[in-house]
C-alpha cells in the first residue's frame, strides 16, 4: 500500500520576532485542518529596504528554531535564503516542488493577503496549482471573487491581535511582554538585547 505524502503548510513571514500568535495559528492549522505540518519560511532581509528594527535572517531563524524547539509538527525553513531576491512566493514554491517532489505543499496566509493576492507575481498560477489556507484578521475582509474556489480554505483560526511591531515597540519602551513570546524566544531577546532603544 502506498503511503500518502504529508501535506505541508508554508507559513511565510519576517518573524521579527516570532510570537505566540504565530504559534497559535500554526497549531490551529495542524490540528483543525488537513495540514500535517507547518514550515515557518523565514523571509530574508531585503537589502533594498533596510529597516533598523529588522534583525538579520540568521537571528530571526534562531528565534523561530527556539520557538518550535523539538515539536515535530513544525519546521524552520531557510529555503528563501539562497533564492534570488526579492523573494517571490511563486518562485519559492516552484523550487520546493522540484526539491521535494513527493511532498504536497499549501500556502498559509492572512485574510488581508488573500484580498491583495492579485498583486502578487503569477497569482493565478498560485491559485490554480496550490491550496491556500486563510486565517482571519482583526479587521474584516471580503474574499475577492478570484479566490472563491475549492482550493481556498477560509478557516476559523483564532483571531490574534498581537503583532511583531507591537512587541518591538513595547520592548523599546521597556514593557514586559514576556507572556506574548515563547519563553526561549523571550530569553534570547533579553540576552541579545534585541529591539532595545539605542542611546544616542
Full-model pTM: 0.92
CATH architecture for the domain at 7-161: 3-Layer(aba) Sandwich (3.40)
Between CA 129 and CA 18 the distance in angstroms is 29
pLDDT at 49: 57
Q: Which residue pairs, CB below 8 angstroms and at least 24 apart, start in 64-68?
A: 64/15, 64/18, 64/40, 66/182, 66/184, 66/185, 66/188, 67/18, 67/22, 67/23, 67/182, 67/184, 67/185, 68/23, 68/40
pLDDT at 50: 60
For the chain, which ranges sit under pLDDT 70?
Answer: 1-5, 46-52, 198-200
In degrees rounded to 5, what are phi and psi of residue 8? Answer: -110, 125
In three-state secondary structure terms, 114 is: helix
Place of cell 539605542: 198
Between CA 23 and CA 18 the distance in angstroms is 8
pLDDT at 198: 64
Amino acid at each position: 500500500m502506498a503511503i500518502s505524502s504529508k501535506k505541508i503548510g508554508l507559513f511565510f513571514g519576517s518573524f521579527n520576532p516570532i510570537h505566540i500568535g504565530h504559534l497559535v495559528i500554526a497549531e490551529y492549522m495542524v490540528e483543525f485542518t488537513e495540514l500535517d505540518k507547518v514550515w515557518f519560511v523565514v523571509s530574508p532581509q531585503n537589502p533594498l529596504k533596510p529597516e533598523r528594527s529588522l534583525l538579520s535572517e540568521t537571528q530571526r531563524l534562531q528565534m523561530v528554531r527556539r520557538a518550535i524547539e523539538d515539536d515535530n509538527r513544525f519546521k524552520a525553513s531557510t529555503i528563501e535564503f539562497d533564492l534570488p531576491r526579492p523573494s517571490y512566493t511563486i518562485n519559492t514554491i516552484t523550487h520546493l516542488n522540484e526539491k521535494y517532489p513527493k511532498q504536497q505543499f499549501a500556502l498559509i496566509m492572512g485574510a488581508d493577503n488573500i484580498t491583495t493576492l492579485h498583486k502578487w507575481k503569477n497569482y493565478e498560477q498560485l491559485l490554480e496549482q496550490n491550496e491556500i489556507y486563510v486565517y482571519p484578521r482583526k479587521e474584516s475582509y471580503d474574499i475577492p471573487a478570484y479566490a472563491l474556489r475549492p482550493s481556498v480554505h477560509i478557516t476559523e483560526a483564532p483571531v490574534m491581535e498581537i503583532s511583531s511591531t507591537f512587541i518591538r515597540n513595547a520592548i523599546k519602551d521597556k514593557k514586559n511582554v514576556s507572556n506574548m513570546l515563547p519563553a526561549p524566544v523571550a530569553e534570547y531577546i533579553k540576552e541579545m538585547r534585541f529591539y532595545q532603544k539605542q542611546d544616542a
